[in-house]
Structure 1
């Protein structure tokens, strides 16, 4: 849902903002960005972080975080809206702003929970497709300081999270706002005639429905850039993530302006930072194996096998990204298994949480996060600062799966499923692969008895597991493959493993 415009409009907007780019090593072109960029060291080993969808859509808490789009354009959801709130003409999306109170929001409690989850970073959505800013903004009046909660939600979170040692950034979805709403003609005509809601002069720049001309789009793109500049200057994000809306090639001039501003400004801070984008948004060649100046993000699902370089998967804790009434929430076991799978393939998992409009994180989501944290407290050595082995996993006995990671010369074998009775055999470690020197179980004292033959490595396990989800064997003595991260984040050409 990028703005349906063209390169000329984007370039005209870029020409307006070009004078704002600070001096530094990055010019707003691909070759300059490519010559400068290196994936931050802190991110290569992070492996687990959190993101968040929280905003006006959390008030109706119905269907999903695209409620604004659907309340004007999907017949069933539009009818539900009328039933519960009234006609869109008199109760439009803007009318949710006063109801987004965040009156129970406690950033210190949130930050403590995130720390206890084991996450290395936190990246809330600073604005979603609706364009409502969750920070104290001088660029847009539609923000959480002037309206709704009357608080700088992003600023408060930044302070609390960083105080606990986590890196802080945010996800930005606003570029899709320009053409997010597409009501039926009858609704448009009715509102236009009455100057109601979407055509209310006080709100036309909130909705971007009344005017979608080239000049309006150019102004929107300038505003998009200025919001990013404000966020960068006010909060010094360690990472800045963009949604699918910036994927289009015709937006390259504007993307490059933001990249140059961000990296040159971060150079003045003395901080390692990165953009984080999807598909080929920062790959002018059109292929995501040649990304420039950005970590590659996969939504929902990552690669089917090992992918070298540096990449991540954003995935959700529940059945919707934003909070909805009755949403299903995955338990800690499901999330830990998802994390293990992603990390075994060399990736990082960014788990989305979904607070309520009042600023509370539902109890079931908290329980899941705390469960993940307990597991990481025991098994984190097999996750943080690791890289992939020569294979991601093997199928174990009785439906179990065994995943592999590598760190500091040790191989970690993470067993998921049911706690094996007595022994476990790892068929991927026959005697021909090398001689195992020792095996330990994370969370359990002492070395484990083992044998190794042509069929693999067989390890005798204690009667009781050290934790309740998945169990990690640390195996030493074998020659391990080298780290597979790259300075650019792109995959290693010709890497032999899948």
Structure 2
């Protein structure tokens, strides 16, 4: 650019040059600001992502998987779907939903799930008490259900009228959980399960195939106009159940995806979660799900200077942490992951036996930690927001164990092998009729749903798991019994041997144990155990 300007005097010349110089600086600053305003893409964030140390150190979290489906006392964890199905086919866990609904509420053409939502009042919900109980019993982070497959938001949603502030308890459930968790000094996360609601809700548009009301449409067919004069006046059932299957055009489906994006961007921006779990093997709605994950990580990057948040998926994907539902890893993984378990069917039901107790929770926790993972325990709640007695009892036992033995769990890292014993060596163990409980058989069926449960036989007495913390080495005896047992991993000439063992003590009482390290392994003499015992932690001092 050439300037051909004549000046009357030097003063005018100086002023013009100064103005030009200032303008040029402002121009450069605007370029820099524009460059800074450009936020990174999901791929750019994923490429730089490393699981934050706080998550790796935390090890144990508690999850409040709770919502209006906890109102019915029977019918399984997919009550909202199964209450519309006279025949649930292979989904036997929901077989009681339809008959229970008829007996308790009436026919689903007259009293549908929208009305069950209205029954949910959460009248004794005390978020701070629940969080304080969780912290007292060992949880280092809290997760809460933001929505389930029923397409109902448990937060103050601007883009979805069927939410907990507008319908049901008239409370911002996520907001209260988030505030209580921050007050307790814990990390907070949310979970979303909304990606499948259209197919999941298809039965709500059906009708009985047999009986006196055969052919009478269920309430999925109702319109906004049908609510005039009723409790749900002004609400549209189609906003909850989705459009009828025959009306689901590509354009309508796309609008639903865009609405999902708005709702979940708001969820991430308003409550600033440290963890987000999408219940699926891929990002919800593809690029829309990646955009929510990008928002999660971008918020964390701005706030912390690094990505301190965690995105959980059921498959291994760059930039995320892998989640295993109702199961655990079959191997020691080089990267962090998480196991999730629950007590019954995710929503508390009185017609279902407890899948877990304190013993199995501790087993699943120790298994996960020894293999470089975390455990997330769903602590199911009664519909009023209180903890069922038998669940509270088990969690308190876990908490008491962690108070004594937590040094072998929190802030630890795995060793080069995760453990030893019959299941590790692939030897056959006792099985339970009707269930795949043999360790080697379960592994053939993958990792999801291969959990240990209350129906699982006890571990063999030589079963151990390992964790480390700096120079400290921990041997966790899963099912201790008085007497000698051998750990082949510590054989003198074995490659896995960490060294010469100098001292071995029990954490809970400081007792020194006698042992002998040979070419066959480490022979430990355990003290007598009075009856059944929870896992015992031994602290090893290797040279």
Verify same fold: TM over 0.5: yes
The answer on 1:451 being equivalent to 2:471 is no
Match of 2:61 in 1: 49
What is the CA–CA distance in structure 2 between the aligned matches of 1:357 and 1:34, rounded to whole Å?
Answer: 39
Give the number of the structure with larger relative contact order, counting CA–CA contacts within 8 Å between residues 6 or more apart: 1
Is 1:473–2:535 an aligned residue pair? Answer: no
Where 1:49 maps in the other structure, the secondary structure is strand
Change (3 A) 1:139 1:46: same
2:314 to 247, 257, 278: 278
| Residue number in structure 2 paired with 1:437 | 502
Q: Are residue 360 (structure 1) and residue 380 (structure 2) matched?
A: no
Task: Find the counterpart in structure 2 of residue 314 from structure 1.
Answer: 340
Structure with bigger gyration radius: 2
Which range moves more in the overlay, 161-170 or 196-205?
196-205
The alignment status of 1:234 with 2:270, answered yes or no, reads yes
Q: Distance in 1 between matches of 2:513 and 2:205?
A: 71
Structure-2 change in CA distance of 1:198 and 1:328 (3 Å): same
> Retained in 1: the 8 A contact 2:126–2:385?
yes
Q: What displacement does 1:362 show?
A: 0.2
Deviation by residue 1:341-367 (Cα, 9 ceiling, x = unmatched): 122222111111211111111011111
Specify the alignment match of 2:489 in structure 1: 428
Q: Does 1:26 align with 2:40?
A: yes
Which residue number in structure 1 is paired with residue 352 of structure 2?
Answer: 327
Assess, with a 3 A threshold, how the Cα gap between structure 1 residues 407 and 129 changes in structure 2: closer, same or farther. same
Alpha-carbon offset, residue 106 of structure 1: 1.2
C-alpha separation in 2, matches of 1:425 and 1:132: 54
Tell me how far apart the structure 1 counterparts of residues 133 and 277 of structure 2 sit (CA, whole Å): 22
TM-score by length of structure 2 reads: 0.75
Shift of 1:170: 1.0
Find out whether 1:112 has 2:132 as its counterpart: yes
Aligned residues of 1:199 and 1:209 also touching (Cα < 8 A): no
Question: Judging changes above 3 Å, is the alpha-carbon distance between structure 1 residues 135 and 186 closer, same or farther for their aligned structure 2 residues?
Answer: closer
Q: Are positions 1:219 and 2:272 aligned together?
A: no
5 Å-filtered alignment, 1:267-306, equals 267-270=301-304, 272-279=308-315, 288=316, 291-306=317-332
Distance 1:84 1:49 in 2: 35
Give me the whole-angstrom Cα distance separating, in 1, the residues matched to 2:219 and 2:117. 17
Question: Mind listing any 5+ residue stretches in structure 2 that lack a counterpart?
Answer: 1-35, 88-94, 225-235, 423-458
State whether residues 173 and 245 of structure 1, in contact with CA within 8 Å, keep that contact through their aligned partners in structure 2.
no
Structure 2 CA distance for partners of 1:452 and 1:195, relative to 1, 3 Å: closer
CA contact (8 A) 1:179 1:209 kept: no
CA contact (8 A) 2:313 2:323 kept: yes
CA-atom RMSD, angstroms? 2.8
Verify: 1:203 aligned to 2:203, yes or no. Answer: no
Deviation at 1:44, TM superposition (A): 1.5
Q: Against the structure 1 CA distance between its residues 421 and 245, is the aligned structure 2 distance closer, same or farther, given a 3 Å change threshold?
A: closer
In structure 2, the residue corresponding to 1:39 is in which secondary structure? coil
Secondary structure in structure 2 of the residue aligned to 1:140? coil
- Once the two structures are superposed, residues 114-141 of structure 1 have per-residue CA deviations (whole angstroms, 9 ceiling, x without a partner) of 0122111111111101111111222211
Change (3 A) 1:200 1:412: same
**CA–CA distance in structure 2, aligned partners of residues 262 and 36 of structure 1:** 14
SS at match of 1:89: coil
Structure 2 residue aligned with 1:342? 368
How far off its partner does 1:302 sit? 2.0
Structure 1 residue 245: Cα displacement? 6.7
**Per-residue deviation, 1:23:** 4.3
Give the structure 1 partner of residue 16 of structure 2.
none
User: Is the partner of 2:203 in helix, strand or coil?
Assistant: coil
Q: 2:60·2:138 contact (CA, 8 Å) conserved in 1? A: yes
Matched residues, number: 441
Query: 1:130 and 1:414, CA in 2 relative to 1: closer, same or farther beyond 3 A?
Result: same
Q: 1:470 to 1:51 in 2, by over 3 A?
A: same
What does the per-residue CA deviation read over 1:392-433, in whole Å, with 9 as the maximum and x for residues that have no partner?
A: 22227964411112221222111122x332544433212333
Tell me how far 1:74 sits from its aligned partner. 4.2
Describe the superposition over 1:224-271 as per-residue Cα deviations: whole angstroms up to 9, x where unpaired.
Answer: 1111111112211000000017457xx322122112222112222226
SS at match of 2:259: helix
Question: What residue in structure 2 maps to residue 415 of structure 1?
Answer: 477
Distance in 2 (alpha carbons) for counterparts of 1:24 and 1:462: 64
Q: Is the Cα–Cα contact under 8 Å of residues 151 and 194 in structure 2 kept in the other structure?
A: yes
Deviation per CA, 1:445-477, whole angstroms, max 9, x where unpaired? 254443322232234445568x94110111122
- Cα distance between partner residues in 2 of 1:411 and 1:157: 36
Report the Cα distance in structure 2 between the residues aligned to 1:43 and 1:401, rounded to whole angstroms. Answer: 27
Is 1:375 matched up with 2:440? no
Whether 2:146 is the aligned partner of 1:126: answer yes
**Whole-angstrom distance in 2 between the partners of 1:374 and 1:361:** 18
Unaligned 5+ segments in structure 1 are 1-21, 280-287, 479-498
User: Please, which moves more after superposition, 389-398 or 152-161?
Assistant: 389-398
